[in-house]
Structure 1
Amino acid sequence: MKNVPDTKLGNMYREHIQHILDKNIEALLDQYTDDALLISSFMKTPVIYKGREQVNEHMQGILGIDGLESDIVFWAETEDPETLMITEQITMTTKDGVSQMRFADSWVLRDGRIAIHFAGMVQHPDGSLA
């Protein structure tokens, strides 16, 4: 993990990535509010997940990840309201091999937990841009 600042949200992001590496979905879900909203563009069309059960459905995809490297290209956070906006260069290994892509993630937190998560794909593994 590169270029993550030593801040409250920087530490939360490190934990988030570690939960993914550990395939610890329960700990990952505990970072979200029970009524969280996650909007994903990973499939090239928007998919919206509402609540813990649906966010859990989205997180099942991490079970196929064997390695994940994240290099932060852009980082911005605010304290009031508590938000995070990042762009990441990602390299991950799955059963299909090594993939490189670029993500743009944004979090809106409530009481220290993610209430809204925009999980954006900027560049897909095939090189196409979102």
Structure 2
Amino acid sequence: MVTSTISPGRKFFNTHLETIAAGKVDEMVDRDYTEDAVLITYFNGFADMPAPITIQGRENIKQFFHKYMKAIGHIDLKSLDFTETEDTIFFQANFNNDLGSVNAGDAWMMRDGKIAYHFGFWIWA
């Protein structure tokens, strides 16, 4: 019998995605981000916040993700390329949402098992 194990980074990613897709933004940020985390994203779905957007701290990241989820509505993952190192998670995904189909890529630099720096890229498919 062949058994496969999920790496710690992939398990972290899966839980992160499941939590945000369920609309549990505050839970996701409190669990997954350091208190002083920095988020830099090229998400361009806000008329009042042109990309690139730089946000620091859990409370500000929560505000961003609440607004983000309101804008995109849902995440319907179509494809995922994933890799990790000891302290970094990288992924590229194609997903559908209320704004259309997008290709997104993220790099998460980890510290003590949490995201310290989150770099996000967003390209309309």
Tell me whether the two structures share a fold, i.e. TM-score over 0.5: yes
Unmatched 5+ stretches in structure 2? 45-49
Q: Is the 8 A contact 1:87 1:105 kept in 2?
A: yes
Residue in structure 2 matched with residue 51 of structure 1 by the alignment: 57
Q: TM-score, normalised by structure 2?
A: 0.81
Residues 86-101 of structure 1 aligned to structure 2 (within 5 Å): 86-92=91-97, 94=98, 99-101=100-102
Residue in structure 2 matched with residue 119 of structure 1 by the alignment: 120
Look up the equivalent residue of 1:48 and give its one-letter code.
T
Whole-Å Cα distance in 2 between the matches of residues 17 and 65 of structure 1? 14
Q: CA deviation at 1:39?
A: 0.2
Residue in structure 1 matched with residue 82 of structure 2 by the alignment: 75
Residue in structure 1 matched with residue 25 of structure 2 by the alignment: 25
For the aligned residue pairs, the C-alpha RMSD in angstroms reads 1.8
Greater strand fraction, Structure 1 or Structure 2: 1
Whole-Å Cα distance in 1 between the matches of residues 25 and 18 of structure 2? 11
Q: Secondary structure of 1:37's partner? A: strand
Look up the equivalent residue of 2:20 and give its one-letter code.
I
Q: Is the 8 A contact 1:21 1:66 kept in 2?
A: no
Q: Secondary structure of 1:58's partner? A: helix
Q: Is the 8 A contact 1:108 1:117 kept in 2?
A: yes
Q: Secondary structure of 1:67's partner? A: coil
Q: Secondary structure of 2:12's partner? A: helix
Q: TM-score, normalised by structure 1?
A: 0.78
The runs of at least 4 consecutive aligned structure 1 residues that moved more than 3 Å come to 63-67
Q: CA deviation at 1:50?
A: 0.5
Change (3 A) 1:29 1:40: same
Aligned length: 113
Look up the equivalent residue of 2:18 and give its one-letter code.
Q
